[in-house]
Structure 1
Amino acid sequence: MQKISNYCIMMEHLEQEPESSTDMTENHAPLICGLPDDIALFCLARVPRRYHMMLKCVSKRWRELVCSEEWYSYRQKHNLEETWIYALCRDKSDQICCYVLDPNSSPRCWKLIQGLPPRCLKRKGMAFEVLGKKFYLLGGCSWSEDANRDVYCYDASKNTWDEAASLSTARCYFACEALNEKLYAIGGVTLSSSDQCSWDTYDPSTNSGTTHVDPNIFPDIQESVVLDGKIYIRGAVSTISQHIPALGYKPTSSAWQNVDEDLVSGWHGPAVVVDGTLYVLDQNSGTRLMMWQPKSRDWVLVGRLSPLLTRPPCRLVAIGKRIFVVGKGLSTVVLDLAKAGNVGGVMVSSSVPKLDSDDDVISCKVLSI
């Protein structure tokens, strides 16, 4: 392992040097001696994701391949991609931090991602969303600065941070979702009251964004989710009328419309979609997993979660038919809906050990490579 570490350091040093005749020779050398590159790609692309860092240490050409769009597209096309979970948290020093979990590793454990942009470490109200093989940190504010337009991008294949095109509108405490290969930044606190009824779209193919306005949008968005090709946003319960504002947006209509009240009535927490079905974690009295049934227009109790395992407030994320309930300290409960059991009304589950710290989980997303 020490030799591999030393080799990685040497490779990083060489990549900063001008291209030499040795580099040019390597660029034209086959990926694997004696094999055509398409056969080499067939073999290398089947190496599990947890070993990709080691592949990048073999040679500059292997590193470029593993970080390339060709590699990402090939694994996606041939159903070789593996999904990991990324969590945006806030630690005890009030700084943001990011962790990653390989759900198929043994033992399963959360690992800290290094190198977050220093300018955003103290910010609050940032959005966190995944698009392709990258995740984005957007907007935010702090005691010393108002809402801002900054967008930072983490490339999971390269393990590097970069700045992306700024938001069209400065925002904090806003909703953000990915749909049709675009990011949508919606509502929130803005520098101008007129901008609170707006949303931005970001297109990574052009690295640019556009602002749109709709008077129906409300600034205080509590939760959001993508379901059946639509973005849904839900606001806070009105203390006067007990009304819960909620809107749905379909890109083809370019307008925000009111949502079915029956659906909104049971949307009392973080939501996730599994095989087209909407699940919500209701943490108002204990921790219950609820399922929306559109045909009967009703919410059904899937089961209660053990209070010994969950540490609210929790966030939800799904891989296949598995729902991951991630709580304080990144304590993680895994519910396999395909094998869901129920003992005394409590759902049978497995778990991932929590961290030694009590970091608060802001958001969780999945990213596949």
Structure 2
Amino acid sequence: IGGSSGKQGLASVERLDLRSVCPKWNNSEIKPMLYSREAHGSVAYDSKIYAIGGFSQAPDGSGICLDSMECYDSRKNQWTPTVSMRVARCGMALTVFNDKIYVIGGGNELNAKTKLKGVEVFNFKTGKWSNTKCLNHGRQYGSAVVLDGNLYVIGGDCESKPTVEMFVPSENKWELLPGVLNHQGSYRTIALKS
């Protein structure tokens, strides 16, 4: 979903059909997004795909950080604009947690000098964005994962050394976990129960 050609942002979407005998990538069946996006986030919820924020780069190299969110309905093969975030951001971590989208940190440009601490939450029931408690440390290009009913944000390009923070919903706070990661960077994480 989106990305960069190296010269400009992409709005195209590619699909891999794993049910096929010979799985192949296909980008001709799915309509492109409304905006080109790189350093954005995508989540799936209730049979729909949401593309959020990111950076939209023009062929001349100019670009803008996005606050927009768009939704893909596979039954209609159509992207539609939805409610925009309160703050434009790219390189943020995001995930679905407790039937809400959490958009965590990021920056106001690619490789921003100032990393965002802010966290926005989209409530599917109300269709509105709200702010929740800020991170302890701003971070861009971190990763978010849910495990055992807790939300974690991990590493990234941080204001301090790369850390892990856990969101405690009952107290509406981010708790800094002990230890420091060995690497900063644009990696992704998954939760796998053993």
Q: Same fold (TM over 0.5)?
A: yes
The alignment status of 1:115 with 2:35, answered yes or no, reads no
> Which of 22, 45, 50 is matched with 1:131 structurally?
45
Query: Cα deviation per residue 1:41-69 (whole Å; 9 max; x = unaligned)?
Result: xxxxxxxxxxxxxxxxxxxxxxxxxxxxx
Cα deviation, residue 156, structure 1: 2.2
Answer yes or no: is 1:225 the counterpart of 2:141.
Answer: no
Match of 1:357 in 2: none
Distance 2:49 2:174 in 1: 26
Match runs of 1:3-82 below 5 Å? none
Structure 2: unaligned runs, 5 residues or longer: none
- TM-score relative to the length of structure 2: 0.78
Alpha-carbon distance change, 221 to 251 in structure 1, aligned in 2, over 3 angstroms? farther
RMSD across aligned positions (CA)? 3.1
Structure 1 runs of 4+ aligned residues shifted over 3 Å read: 87-95, 142-146, 264-269
Structure-2 separation of matches of 1:188 and 1:267: 14
> Deviation at 1:170?
1.5
1:183 aligns with 2:97: no
- Greater fraction helix: 1
**Counterparts of 1:90 and 1:147, CA distance in 2:** 14
Matched to 1:111, the amino acid is: N
Q: Does 1:212 align with 2:127?
A: no
**Equivalent residues in 2 for 1:304-323, closer than 5 Å:** none
The verdict on how the C-alpha distance between 1:211 and 1:154 changes in structure 2, with shifts beyond 3 A counting, is: same
Hey, what does 2:21 align to over in structure 1? 106
Unaligned runs of 5+ in 1: 1-86, 278-369
CA distance in 1, matches of 2:148, 2:93: 18
Which SS does the other structure have where 2:142 is aligned?
strand
- For 1:216 and 1:248, the matched residues in 2 are separated by 10
Contact 1:229 1:250 in 2 (8 A): no
Per the TM alignment, residue 88 of structure 1 is displaced from its structure 2 partner at its CA by 4.7
Cα drift, residue 266 of structure 1: 8.7
Identity of aligned residues (%): 21
Assess, with a 3 A threshold, how the Cα gap between structure 1 residues 103 and 253 changes in structure 2: closer, same or farther: farther
Superposed CA deviations along residues 139-178 of structure 1, whole A, max 9, x for unmatched, are 1223544322111110123321101111122211111111
Seen in structure 2, the aligned counterparts of structure 1 residues 202 and 114 have a Cα distance that, compared at 3 Å, is same
**Aligned with 1:256 (options 157, 171, 174):** 174
Q: Distance in 1 between matches of 2:150 and 2:19?
A: 30
Letter in 1 for 2:14: Y
Partners of 2:132 and 2:169 lie apart in 1 by 12
Compute the displacement of 1:259 (Å). 2.3
Q: TM-score by structure 1 length?
A: 0.44
Report if the CA contact (8 A) 1:187-1:198 is conserved. yes
Q: Residues 264-321 of structure 1: CA distance to partner in whole angstroms, max 9, x if unpaired?
A: 45998432223x24xxxxxxxxxxxxxxxxxxxxxxxxxxxxxxxxxxxxxxxxxxxx
Aligned residue type for 1:147: C
Of residues 201, 207, 214, the one that matches 2:121 is 201
Match of 2:163 in 1: 245
- Structure 1 residues 260 and 99 mapped into 2: Cα distance closer, same or farther (>3 Å)? farther
Q: 1:78 corresponds to which residue?
A: none
Amino acid at match of 1:116: P
SS of the residue 2:191 aligns to: strand
Indicate how the Cα distance of structure 1 residues 221 and 250 shifts in structure 2: closer, same or farther if over 3 A, else same.
farther
CA distance in 2 between counterparts of 1:184 and 1:90 reads 24
Q: Select the residue among 154, 170, 173 that pairs with 2:88.
A: 170
